[in-house]
Amino acid sequence: MFDQLSDRLQRMMKFLRGEGQVTEKNMTEALRMMRLAFLEADVNYKVVKEFEARVKAKALGEEVLRSLTPAQQVIKIVRDELTAILGGADKPLSFASTPPSVFMLVGLQGCGKTTTCGKLARWVKGLGRNPLLVSVDLKRPAAQEQLKTIARSLDVPWYEMKAAAMAAPRGALQEVVRATRDRGHDPLIVDTAGRLHVDDELMAELRLVKDILRPAETIYVGDAMTGQDAVRSAQAFEDQIGLTSVILTKLDGDARGGAALSIVTVTGKPIKFAGVGEKFAELEVFHPERMASRILGLGDILSLIEKAEEATDVREAEEVARKIRREAFTLDDFRKQLVQMRKMGSLSEVLGHLPAVGPLKNLGKIPLDDRKAVHFEAIINSMTPAERADPRLLNGSRRQRIARGSGRPVHEVNQLVKQFQEMQRMMKGGAFKKILSKMG
């Protein structure tokens, strides 16, 4: 995500680091590079203009000009201002003081509202809450069935609205809230109708639903890949029905970042979540400061640690550490680590959280095939327990049998064995064991 913008801004930072001191002349050039980076990233021109003015005022201040490291000071200013236009401090979901909390998701057709309802239900379920899903989109025939399928796949309850019920919408919607309360559900997550573009009929319908349900959160769901179109429609929804927050979908596929960098300033509403994939687990809490650091190539180690903590079985990790100390790490253990790594997301996504500096500078640009881990797992699954425990048993005929069983070529079996042996040699090294002993 933000690859194009990140590359341009890192060039600006490199230019500043190459200057002995910050002057009005080289700062003007740096700001020109930054302005072009934002405009190419499809950021709203008013946002760009205000951003540039704030950075220039701070960067040419006495404190920066007299600093021993003026370039670093300017980079800090840019990061702080990026954080500000992305929303500043984290803003968590607002739950009602008296249950049930109602989360009403709105947006144009095709933006990912229904899938996001499922993602949000899974997320709040992880907090220990008991969500209920309901769709009040009765004009799209597949809407009810789609939400029902999502609810079942997540093992989340859902409430079926009949088309006839909406002939008297006030009573039908009040009954939904009563049923939610009586069954002990909280929150109620409401999927609403969408259109290909904003129209008066849609807005009137959404205002009616909002007036009856009185949601704790009215969340605009926008497709990040549509750039300024998402920003303009968000503003229309804010003007006509009122929003409390934003969820951006498809942020993983947005190389430019125009929507994310414009929508908070234009609407005045915070981004609270970002969809970073199609799976229901791929909904991330949006942290403005962390995202600003990632855009500037400074990494986001905190989010990477949180992903690792969520994906890792602590007891299993401790057992692996003990096996490494005893030099008893097997291909079975390697397979378990591959599975846990895949739970954290794609390899390119994981590397994207690392700072693009020093020896890590080019890691994010390495072409990575995430299928390789799946192939390795299939190869290990085709081995006997004895072969997994002792790869030295893997002679030529055994490797051919494993290749046939896994559906992979023999050279991939050889590649796996070679990489595993190299890993074992590294683990036997004194430096690696020293790190493990410090970890307890």
Least confident residue range of 67-81, 355-369, 404-418: 355-369
Are 288 and 308 found together in one domain?
no
Radius of gyration of the chain (CA): 26
254-275 pLDDT, tens digit per residue, is: 656 778 888 998 999 999 999 9
Residue 392: pLDDT above 70?
yes
DSSP element (H, E) containing 259: none
The per-residue pLDDT for 14 is: 79
Least confident residue range of 122-136, 367-381, 395-409: 367-381
Specify the length of the chain in residues. Answer: 440
8-21 pLDDT, tens digit per residue, is: 887 887 787 776 67
Percent of the chain with pLDDT over 90: 33
Rounded to an integer, what distance in angstroms lies between the CA atom of residue 241 and that of residue 106? 10
Are 286 and 161 found together in one domain?
yes
The per-residue pLDDT for 396 is: 92
Name the domain boundary from 43, 58, 85.
Answer: 85
Rounded to an integer, what distance in angstroms lies between the CA atom of residue 427 and that of residue 440? 16
Place of tokens 């080289």: 26
Least confident residue range of 22-31, 188-197, 291-300, 301-310: 301-310
For residues 263 and 364, which has the higher predicted lDDT (pLDDT)? 263
Are 123 and 172 found together in one domain?
yes
Are 216 and 313 found together in one domain?
no
What average pLDDT does the chain have? 81
Containing structural domain, residue 128: 102-293
The per-residue pLDDT for 342 is: 66
Place of tokens 């009954």: 175
How many structural domains compose the chain?
A: 3
DSSP string, 168-236: SHHHHHHHHHHHHHHTT-BPEEEE----SS--HHHHHHHHHHHHHH--SEEEEEEEGGGTHHHHHHHHH
280-314 pLDDT, tens digit per residue, is: 988 989 988 888 887 777 654 455 545 555 555 55
Rounded to an integer, what distance in angstroms lies between the CA atom of residue 189 and that of residue 25? 53
Name the domain boundary from 20, 50, 85.
Answer: 85
CATH number for the domain harbouring residue 59: 1.20.120.140
Least confident residue range of 121-125, 283-287, 318-322, 405-409: 318-322
CATH number for the domain harbouring residue 395: 1.10.260.30
328-363 pLDDT, tens digit per residue, is: 678 887 887 777 766 665 555 555 545 554 444 444
